[in-house]
Amino acid sequence: MGLSGFGAFHFLYPGWLLTLPPLLCLALWLVWRQRKAGGWLQVLDADLLAALRLQDGDRRSSPWLLIGLAWTVAAFALAGPAWQRIESAAFRTPENWVLVLDLSPSMAVTDLSPDRATRARYAIDDLLRAAHDANIGLIVFAGEAHIVVPLTSDVATVRALLQPLSPAIMPEGGDDIAPALEDAGQLLRQAGSRNSKVIVLSDGYADSDRALAAAKSLRDEGAVVDVLGVGTLSGAPEMNANGSFVQDAQGRSVMAKLPVGQLQGLAAEGGGRYWPLTDLNGLTSALSAERSNPLEQDQLATHLRVDTWRNEGIWLLPPLLLLAAAFARRGWL
């Protein structure tokens, strides 16, 4: 270590140095004890005092010097002396994807075969194939939002829980997406990663103002909101929970058309893009391009380096082992 190294010298774990004051206290106590025993020389003959003392075997020397030396070396080794920095490969955290699935009554419309909700599940299955090592969360909404799967790397569990999802299982009607976006933000905050994405699969929503505010909040926190429109521009007659067609005041069937402009506005507010269901391949390709392929990730991990302090306490282990060996040799202590 050169002179420049002394300026960088420090301990990585200085708390271990607190074990040295007890050693000093023990040494002072031993000195005091020896002086106290030496006071008997004033009233007893030296030969008589030696005969009266109890001896634990034939000790050639006091063990306290070796014990104190080993104690000190161990404390410095555990404290982690460091004065040089080394480079190591950086760790790239996986992405976090939260899938938000619309299960409002209009998702039972059959303008897409067999219905919108089923086609949305098929789309999610394709997204899961493109996820690779990303952490996946799944939220569904109608009148209220429900977290089906928190963020997890177990894609098989997400796929298994996806199958029974349909508008019929939702406990309440409605079409409010804002609570689902807020729950997505909470999951991402708990994960503590800004490398995240929210993918919405919906045919429209009723709480426009609150939804736009929630999307903007996600964007401000570093997430990107992409929207996949599920449905067609012409739409189809909307059905209620009883399986009958919904009618307006004039007795005409209500057509559930896909509000492309509304969904585009949600994506824009969330800093992402709008994709029609017919361009699902475009969305998966874009997601794969953003994440890049595994070979490129390996090359990136090879080139990304971080500096860390090297723990030099390992060099104190050989003398510490020698001192420990002295404790076991007969006659040394």
Instruction: Identify whether 290 is part of a domain.
Output: yes
Task: Specify whether 126 is located in the same domain as 58.
Answer: no
Q: What value does the CA radius of gyration of the chain take, rounded to a whole number of Å? A: 36
Question: Is residue 4 in a domain?
Answer: no
Residues 210 and 74 in one domain: no
Q: If you count them, how many residues does the chain have?
A: 333
Q: Is residue 222 part of a domain?
A: yes
Same-domain pairing of 253 and 278 = yes
Residue 247 lies in a domain: yes
Same domain membership, residue 44 and residue 182:
no
Query: How many domains does one find in the chain?
Result: 2
Same domain assignment for residues 316 and 199: no
Helix (H, G, I), strand (E, B) or coil at 242: coil
Digitized pLDDT (tens) for each residue of the chain, 333 residues in all: 554 555 678 888 888 889 888 888 887 777 676 666 555 556 666 666 666 655 544 444 566 777 788 888 888 888 988 888 776 655 556 789 999 999 998 899 999 999 999 999 999 999 998 887 789 999 999 999 999 999 998 999 999 999 999 999 998 888 999 999 999 999 999 888 667 899 999 999 999 999 999 999 999 999 999 999 999 998 888 776 566 667 766 767 778 889 999 999 999 999 999 999 999 999 998 887 776 544 444 444 445 556 677 888 888 888 888 877 777 666 554
82 plus 139 within the same structural domain = no
- Is the CB of residue 53 less than 8 Å from the CB of residue 98? no
According to DSSP, the residues that pair with 201 across neighbouring strands are 101, 228
pTM check: above 0.75 = no
Q: Based on the fold, state whether residues 125 and 192 are members of the same structural domain.
A: yes
Q: Which CATH number belongs to the domain containing residue 106 in this structure?
A: 3.40.50.410
Determine, yes or no, domain membership for 16: no
Is residue 8 assigned to a domain?
Answer: no
Q: Sheet containing 145-152: give its strands across.
A: 145-152, 135-141, 96-102, 196-202, 223-229, 271-276
Residues 154, 293 within the same domain? yes
| Cβ proximity of 100 and 184 under 8 Å | yes
Which has the closest alpha carbon to 30: 55, 62, 59?
Answer: 62
Q: Are residues 148 and 291 in the same domain?
A: yes
- Encoded amino acid at 310, one letter: R
Q: Are residues 161 and 34 in the same domain?
A: no
The answer to the question of residue 7 being in a domain is no
In a shared domain, residues 107 and 194: yes
Assigned domain for 15 exists: no
Do 146 and 47 belong to one domain? no
Question: Which structural domain range is residue 314 located in?
Answer: 22-88+310-328
Question: What is the rounded CA–CA span in Å between residue 29 and residue 27?
Answer: 5
